[in-house]
Amino acid sequence: MHGLAMILSLPLYRIPPPWSSSPLSYSYDLRLHRQLASPRQLPLLWFASPPRLRRRSLCTSTLASGPATGALLQDAGATAAVLAGAYSLVRAFDALTENNLIEQQNLSRKLVHILSGLIFISSWPIFSNSAEARYFASLVPLLNCLRLVINGFSLTTDAGLVKSVTRKGNPEELLRGPLHYVLILILCSVIFWRDSPTGIISVAMMCGGDGIADIIGRRFGAQKLPYNQHKSWAGSCSMFLFGFLVSIGMLYYFSSLGYFQLDLTETVQRVALVSLVATVVESLPTEVMDDNISVPLVSMLTALLTFNY
Protein backbone atom coordinates (compact mmCIF):
# COMPACT_ATOMS: atom_id res chain seq x y z
CA MET A 1 0.00 0.00 0.00
CA HIS A 2 1.69 3.22 -1.10
CA GLY A 3 1.99 6.26 1.07
CA LEU A 4 -1.07 8.26 0.05
CA ALA A 5 -3.33 5.23 0.00
CA MET A 6 -2.02 4.23 3.40
CA ILE A 7 -2.69 7.64 4.83
CA LEU A 8 -6.15 7.80 3.29
CA SER A 9 -6.88 4.36 4.68
CA LEU A 10 -6.29 5.60 8.18
CA PRO A 11 -9.56 5.82 10.05
CA LEU A 12 -10.11 9.43 10.91
CA TYR A 13 -10.19 9.46 14.67
CA ARG A 14 -11.83 12.39 16.30
CA ILE A 15 -9.49 13.22 19.14
CA PRO A 16 -11.89 13.96 22.00
CA PRO A 17 -11.88 17.69 22.73
CA PRO A 18 -9.13 18.22 25.34
CA TRP A 19 -11.55 20.20 27.43
CA SER A 20 -13.88 17.24 27.84
CA SER A 21 -14.25 16.50 31.50
CA SER A 22 -14.57 12.81 30.78
CA PRO A 23 -11.31 10.88 30.16
CA LEU A 24 -10.56 9.49 26.74
CA SER A 25 -13.32 7.06 25.81
CA TYR A 26 -12.43 3.36 26.00
CA SER A 27 -13.60 2.88 22.43
CA TYR A 28 -11.23 5.64 21.30
CA ASP A 29 -8.34 4.03 23.13
CA LEU A 30 -9.31 0.63 21.78
CA ARG A 31 -9.54 1.91 18.20
CA LEU A 32 -6.29 3.81 18.42
CA HIS A 33 -4.59 0.86 20.12
CA ARG A 34 -5.74 -1.41 17.31
CA GLN A 35 -4.38 1.07 14.80
CA LEU A 36 -1.04 1.32 16.57
CA ALA A 37 -0.67 -2.43 16.92
CA SER A 38 0.39 -2.74 13.28
CA PRO A 39 3.78 -0.98 12.85
CA ARG A 40 3.25 -0.57 9.11
CA GLN A 41 0.35 1.66 9.89
CA LEU A 42 2.01 3.91 12.38
CA PRO A 43 -0.67 6.56 11.86
CA LEU A 44 -0.13 10.25 11.54
CA LEU A 45 -1.85 10.25 14.91
CA TRP A 46 1.11 8.42 16.44
CA PHE A 47 2.56 11.81 17.35
CA ALA A 48 -0.72 12.92 18.83
CA SER A 49 -1.54 9.66 20.54
CA PRO A 50 -1.88 9.76 24.31
CA PRO A 51 1.56 8.99 25.80
CA ARG A 52 0.46 5.72 27.37
CA LEU A 53 -0.50 4.34 23.93
CA ARG A 54 2.66 5.69 22.32
CA ARG A 55 4.83 3.53 24.56
CA ARG A 56 3.32 0.38 22.98
CA SER A 57 3.97 1.55 19.44
CA LEU A 58 7.49 2.62 20.35
CA CYS A 59 8.13 -0.83 21.83
CA THR A 60 6.64 -2.42 18.73
CA SER A 61 8.80 -0.43 16.40
CA THR A 62 12.01 -0.81 18.41
CA LEU A 63 11.78 -4.46 19.46
CA ALA A 64 15.12 -5.17 17.82
CA SER A 65 16.97 -2.44 19.76
CA GLY A 66 14.75 -2.34 22.84
CA PRO A 67 12.46 0.47 23.91
CA ALA A 68 15.14 2.10 26.07
CA THR A 69 17.53 2.44 23.13
CA GLY A 70 14.73 3.78 20.95
CA ALA A 71 13.85 6.39 23.53
CA LEU A 72 17.51 7.34 23.98
CA LEU A 73 17.97 7.83 20.25
CA GLN A 74 14.73 9.78 20.03
CA ASP A 75 15.70 12.11 22.89
CA ALA A 76 19.22 12.65 21.60
CA GLY A 77 17.87 13.52 18.16
CA ALA A 78 15.23 15.82 19.60
CA THR A 79 17.82 17.62 21.74
CA ALA A 80 20.11 18.15 18.75
CA ALA A 81 17.22 19.44 16.63
CA VAL A 82 16.00 21.91 19.26
CA LEU A 83 19.54 23.11 19.93
CA ALA A 84 19.98 23.77 16.22
CA GLY A 85 16.67 25.61 16.25
CA ALA A 86 17.77 27.78 19.16
CA TYR A 87 21.00 28.75 17.43
CA SER A 88 19.20 29.39 14.13
CA LEU A 89 16.56 31.61 15.75
CA VAL A 90 19.13 33.95 17.26
CA ARG A 91 21.14 33.99 14.02
CA ALA A 92 17.99 34.72 12.01
CA PHE A 93 17.06 37.76 14.09
CA ASP A 94 20.65 38.94 14.03
CA ALA A 95 20.54 38.82 10.22
CA LEU A 96 17.15 40.58 10.10
CA THR A 97 18.50 43.38 12.31
CA GLU A 98 21.77 43.57 10.37
CA ASN A 99 19.85 43.97 7.13
CA ASN A 100 17.55 46.54 8.73
CA LEU A 101 14.53 44.30 8.10
CA ILE A 102 13.72 44.81 11.78
CA GLU A 103 14.24 48.46 12.43
CA GLN A 104 14.82 48.26 16.15
CA GLN A 105 17.22 46.10 18.06
CA ASN A 106 14.78 46.15 20.98
CA LEU A 107 12.03 44.69 18.78
CA SER A 108 14.41 41.95 17.65
CA ARG A 109 15.31 41.16 21.27
CA LYS A 110 11.69 41.02 22.31
CA LEU A 111 10.73 38.76 19.41
CA VAL A 112 13.55 36.41 20.44
CA HIS A 113 12.23 36.70 24.01
CA ILE A 114 8.68 35.75 22.90
CA LEU A 115 9.54 33.02 20.42
CA SER A 116 12.42 31.16 22.10
CA GLY A 117 10.57 29.89 25.13
CA LEU A 118 7.27 29.25 23.35
CA ILE A 119 8.89 27.25 20.54
CA PHE A 120 11.00 25.43 23.14
CA ILE A 121 8.01 24.15 25.12
CA SER A 122 6.14 23.47 21.88
CA SER A 123 8.97 21.06 21.01
CA TRP A 124 8.48 19.00 24.19
CA PRO A 125 6.17 16.41 22.55
CA ILE A 126 8.96 15.32 20.16
CA PHE A 127 10.87 13.93 23.12
CA SER A 128 10.19 10.35 24.21
CA ASN A 129 7.99 9.17 27.05
CA SER A 130 10.99 8.05 29.07
CA ALA A 131 11.66 9.43 32.54
CA GLU A 132 14.89 10.95 31.20
CA ALA A 133 13.19 12.92 28.40
CA ARG A 134 12.78 16.08 30.50
CA TYR A 135 16.50 16.08 31.30
CA PHE A 136 17.37 15.79 27.62
CA ALA A 137 15.05 18.72 26.89
CA SER A 138 16.58 20.78 29.72
CA LEU A 139 19.99 20.36 28.07
CA VAL A 140 18.90 22.96 25.49
CA PRO A 141 18.43 25.87 27.93
CA LEU A 142 21.39 24.55 29.97
CA LEU A 143 23.78 24.73 27.03
CA ASN A 144 22.40 28.16 26.17
CA CYS A 145 22.97 29.12 29.80
CA LEU A 146 26.64 28.17 29.44
CA ARG A 147 26.79 30.11 26.18
CA LEU A 148 25.38 33.20 27.89
CA VAL A 149 27.81 32.89 30.82
CA ILE A 150 30.86 32.39 28.60
CA ASN A 151 29.93 35.36 26.43
CA GLY A 152 28.69 37.42 29.39
CA PHE A 153 32.15 37.20 30.97
CA SER A 154 33.67 37.86 27.51
CA LEU A 155 35.56 34.57 27.57
CA THR A 156 34.50 34.37 23.94
CA THR A 157 32.76 36.92 21.73
CA ASP A 158 29.56 36.09 19.90
CA ALA A 159 28.61 39.46 18.46
CA GLY A 160 25.38 38.13 16.92
CA LEU A 161 24.21 36.78 20.26
CA VAL A 162 25.06 39.99 22.10
CA LYS A 163 23.29 42.10 19.49
CA SER A 164 20.18 39.90 19.37
CA VAL A 165 19.47 39.58 23.08
CA THR A 166 20.86 42.68 24.82
CA ARG A 167 19.48 46.21 25.13
CA LYS A 168 22.72 48.16 24.69
CA GLY A 169 25.08 45.60 23.17
CA ASN A 170 27.07 45.09 26.38
CA PRO A 171 28.08 41.44 26.89
CA GLU A 172 27.48 41.75 30.66
CA GLU A 173 23.78 42.19 29.91
CA LEU A 174 23.70 38.50 28.93
CA LEU A 175 24.15 37.68 32.64
CA ARG A 176 20.84 39.34 33.58
CA GLY A 177 17.55 39.01 31.65
CA PRO A 178 18.69 36.34 29.17
CA LEU A 179 20.39 34.23 31.85
CA HIS A 180 17.36 34.41 34.16
CA TYR A 181 15.18 33.47 31.18
CA VAL A 182 17.03 30.25 30.38
CA LEU A 183 17.28 29.32 34.09
CA ILE A 184 13.47 29.49 34.28
CA LEU A 185 13.24 27.25 31.19
CA ILE A 186 15.52 24.70 32.87
CA LEU A 187 13.41 24.82 36.03
CA CYS A 188 10.12 24.36 34.16
CA SER A 189 11.53 21.52 32.04
CA VAL A 190 12.87 19.53 35.00
CA ILE A 191 10.28 20.25 37.69
CA PHE A 192 7.00 20.47 35.74
CA TRP A 193 7.71 19.16 32.20
CA ARG A 194 4.71 18.51 29.95
CA ASP A 195 2.69 16.63 32.59
CA SER A 196 1.61 19.76 34.45
CA PRO A 197 -0.03 23.01 33.30
CA THR A 198 2.08 24.96 35.83
CA GLY A 199 5.36 25.06 33.92
CA ILE A 200 3.62 25.65 30.60
CA ILE A 201 1.66 28.63 31.95
CA SER A 202 4.78 30.07 33.63
CA VAL A 203 6.73 30.03 30.35
CA ALA A 204 3.74 31.39 28.43
CA MET A 205 3.46 34.34 30.85
CA MET A 206 7.22 35.03 30.77
CA CYS A 207 7.45 34.82 26.98
CA GLY A 208 4.01 35.76 25.70
CA GLY A 209 2.86 38.09 28.45
CA ASP A 210 6.00 39.93 29.55
CA GLY A 211 7.39 39.97 26.03
CA ILE A 212 4.37 41.63 24.43
CA ALA A 213 4.08 44.18 27.29
CA ASP A 214 7.37 45.74 26.23
CA ILE A 215 6.47 45.86 22.51
CA ILE A 216 2.98 47.31 23.05
CA GLY A 217 3.96 49.48 26.02
CA ARG A 218 6.82 51.20 24.20
CA ARG A 219 4.59 52.03 21.25
CA PHE A 220 1.20 52.75 22.75
CA GLY A 221 2.03 53.36 26.42
CA ALA A 222 1.27 57.08 26.71
CA GLN A 223 -1.12 56.51 29.63
CA LYS A 224 1.19 55.53 32.46
CA LEU A 225 0.11 53.57 35.51
CA PRO A 226 -0.68 55.79 38.52
CA TYR A 227 1.78 53.89 40.72
CA ASN A 228 4.52 53.34 38.15
CA GLN A 229 5.46 55.99 35.61
CA HIS A 230 7.68 53.49 33.77
CA LYS A 231 4.84 51.14 32.97
CA SER A 232 1.60 51.84 31.09
CA TRP A 233 -2.00 50.66 30.87
CA ALA A 234 -1.43 49.55 27.29
CA GLY A 235 1.60 47.48 28.26
CA SER A 236 -0.08 45.86 31.25
CA CYS A 237 -3.40 45.20 29.51
CA SER A 238 -1.56 43.60 26.57
CA MET A 239 0.45 41.49 29.00
CA PHE A 240 -2.75 40.23 30.68
CA LEU A 241 -4.57 39.51 27.42
CA PHE A 242 -1.68 38.02 25.44
CA GLY A 243 -0.38 36.08 28.41
CA PHE A 244 -3.87 34.64 28.96
CA LEU A 245 -4.40 33.73 25.29
CA VAL A 246 -0.95 32.20 24.84
CA SER A 247 -1.36 30.18 28.07
CA ILE A 248 -4.77 28.86 26.97
CA GLY A 249 -3.38 28.06 23.53
CA MET A 250 -0.41 26.15 24.92
CA LEU A 251 -2.65 24.23 27.38
CA TYR A 252 -4.96 23.30 24.49
CA TYR A 253 -1.93 22.11 22.49
CA PHE A 254 -0.68 19.81 25.24
CA SER A 255 -4.11 18.54 26.28
CA SER A 256 -5.03 17.79 22.66
CA LEU A 257 -1.92 15.58 22.56
CA GLY A 258 -3.23 13.72 25.60
CA TYR A 259 -0.80 14.88 28.29
CA PHE A 260 -3.56 16.06 30.58
CA GLN A 261 -7.30 16.68 30.50
CA LEU A 262 -8.66 20.05 31.64
CA ASP A 263 -12.15 21.42 32.20
CA LEU A 264 -12.56 24.43 29.91
CA THR A 265 -14.49 26.72 32.27
CA GLU A 266 -12.25 26.04 35.26
CA THR A 267 -9.11 26.40 33.13
CA VAL A 268 -10.19 29.78 31.73
CA GLN A 269 -10.88 31.08 35.24
CA ARG A 270 -7.61 29.77 36.66
CA VAL A 271 -5.46 31.03 33.78
CA ALA A 272 -7.16 34.44 33.97
CA LEU A 273 -6.21 34.62 37.65
CA VAL A 274 -2.60 33.62 36.93
CA SER A 275 -2.37 36.21 34.18
CA LEU A 276 -3.87 38.94 36.40
CA VAL A 277 -1.49 38.22 39.27
CA ALA A 278 1.54 38.09 36.95
CA THR A 279 0.51 41.33 35.26
CA VAL A 280 0.12 43.16 38.57
CA VAL A 281 3.50 41.92 39.81
CA GLU A 282 5.18 42.92 36.55
CA SER A 283 3.70 46.41 36.78
CA LEU A 284 5.05 47.11 40.30
CA PRO A 285 7.71 49.84 40.53
CA THR A 286 10.22 47.56 42.20
CA GLU A 287 13.66 46.80 40.76
CA VAL A 288 14.22 44.07 43.35
CA MET A 289 13.85 41.21 40.90
CA ASP A 290 14.15 40.88 37.13
CA ASP A 291 10.82 40.37 35.33
CA ASN A 292 12.21 37.12 33.91
CA ILE A 293 12.25 35.79 37.44
CA SER A 294 9.30 37.52 39.14
CA VAL A 295 6.76 36.91 36.35
CA PRO A 296 7.34 33.14 35.91
CA LEU A 297 7.78 32.52 39.65
CA VAL A 298 4.55 34.29 40.62
CA SER A 299 2.81 32.51 37.72
CA MET A 300 4.17 29.19 38.99
CA LEU A 301 2.95 29.84 42.54
CA THR A 302 -0.51 30.98 41.44
CA ALA A 303 -0.87 28.09 38.97
CA LEU A 304 0.22 25.55 41.61
CA LEU A 305 -2.34 26.94 44.06
CA THR A 306 -5.14 26.87 41.49
CA PHE A 307 -4.35 23.73 39.44
CA ASN A 308 -2.82 21.77 42.35
CA TYR A 309 -0.12 20.16 40.17
Ligand X SMILES: Nc1ccn([C@@H]2O[C@H](COP(=O)(O)OP(=O)(O)O)[C@@H](O)[C@H]2O)c(=O)n1
Q: Which region, judged by CB under 6 A, interacts with ligand LRRJ3J73, from 18-26, 177-185, 239-247, 261-269? A: 177-185
Options 53, 58, 162, 185; binder of ligand LRRJ3J73; rule CB under 6 A: 185
Residue 173 near ligand X by CB under 6 A: no
Instruction: Report CA-CA distances (Å) from 125 to 51, 77, 118, 198, 259.
Output: 9, 13, 13, 16, 9
Give the interface segment with ligand LRRJ3J73, choosing from 16-24, 62-70, 91-99, 113-121 (CB under 6 A): 113-121
Closest to ligand X by CB, 72 vs 284, is 284
> Residue 176, interface with ligand X (CB under 6 A)?
no
Which window, 7-15, 44-52, 54-62, 119-127, contacts ligand LRRJ3J73 (CB under 6 A)? Answer: 119-127
- How many positions of this chain bind ligand X (CB under 6 A)? 16
Q: How far apart are CA 91 and CA 107, in angstroms?
A: 15
Dump the DSSP string for 203-256. HHIIIIIHHHHHHHHHHH--SEETTEEEEEHHHHHHHHHHHHHHHHHHHHHHHH
C-alpha angle with apex 244: 243 to 248, nearest 5 degrees?
A: 115
Q: How far is the CB of 236 from ligand X (least distance, A)?
A: 4
Q: Is-contact 10 30, C-beta < 8 A? A: no
Among 236, 247, 294, 299, binds ligand X (CB under 6 A): 236
Q: Is 136 among the residues that bind ligand LRRJ3J73 (CB under 6 A)?
A: no
Cα angle 4, 5, 10; round to 5: 100
Binding region for ligand X (CB under 6 A): 177, 210, 213-214, 217-218, 221, 230-232, 235-236, 239, 282-283, 291
